Amino acid sequence: MIKLYHAPLTRSIRVVWLLEELGIPYQLETRDYRPSPTPFAQPTPFGKLPALEDGETVMFESGAIVEYVLERYGQGRLAPRPGEPGRGTFLQWLHFAEATLMPPLVEIFRHTMLKPEAERIPAVVADGRARAAVTLNVVEQALRGRDYLLGEDFSAADVMMGYGMKMAEQFGLLHELPNLKAYVQRLNARPALQRAMGAK
């Protein structure tokens, strides 16, 4: 059975959420998140959260785990198959959700919550908010007239994006972005996300 190293509020929520959406059994190895200024400090394989063990496969990186689970157990659900229309857009948002959306949010987190107060730099937070605003507006426009990133159908790209959007909402960055606010509400209504948020 899949073993998933998990801590509440971390990116491992993405994987729990996906597994819940797909109805795949898994065993949670819940750990306390260790605040650290440098990465690879978590009490898991590789020092990262999430980490996954599945037979011979041991791996980290939430986006990679999401792809692995889809390929191995998705049976074509929650993603266009390679070669199908929308596959490129699916891959784009799947990567964007970590590679482009998260860095400014992480800088805000580091300089408002993670670092000791004396080391927090307001200019870094302002810079992160400016970058996040531009990035969030791109998704706001992409969601015009759509329920989900690919249109009517919820996909694993929404699982990847949802984590960052909930973080952006917590930081007060969605106030003037009605499509994103409605999107987060739509995601929050999904029972699989609710179960993932309560996973211990």
Spatial contact of 93 and 100, defined as CB atoms under 8 Å apart: no
- Region 98-127 residues binding a copy of itself, contact defined as CB under 8 A: 98-100, 102-103, 106-107, 119, 121, 123-124, 127
Stretch that binds a copy of itself, among 16-24, 38-46, 167-175, 179-187 (CB under 8 A): 38-46
45 near a copy of itself (CB under 8 A): no
Stretch that binds a copy of itself, among 22-30, 84-92, 166-174, 187-195 (CB under 8 A): 84-92
Strands (DSSP E) found in the chain: 2-6, 26-30, 51-54, 57-60
For a copy of itself, which residue of 25, 39, 145, 198 counts as binding (CB under 8 A)?
39
d(CA 117, CA 130): 22
Q: Which is nearer to a copy of itself, 93 or 183 (CB)?
A: 93
CB of residue 82 to a copy of itself, shortest distance in Å: 4
The Cβ-side half-sphere exposure at 59, using a 13 Å CA radius, reads: 15
Location of structure tokens 């800088």: 107
* CB crowding 40-50: b at 16 or more within 10 Å, else e: eebebeeebbb
* CB crowding 169-190: b at 16 or more within 10 Å, else e: bebebbeebebbeebbebbeeb
96 near a copy of itself (CB under 8 A): yes
Contact residues for a copy of itself (CB under 8 A)? 37-40, 46, 52, 54, 56-65, 67-68, 71-72, 82-83, 85, 87-89, 91-92, 94-96, 98-100, 102-103, 106-107, 119, 121, 123-124, 127, 130-131, 134-135, 138
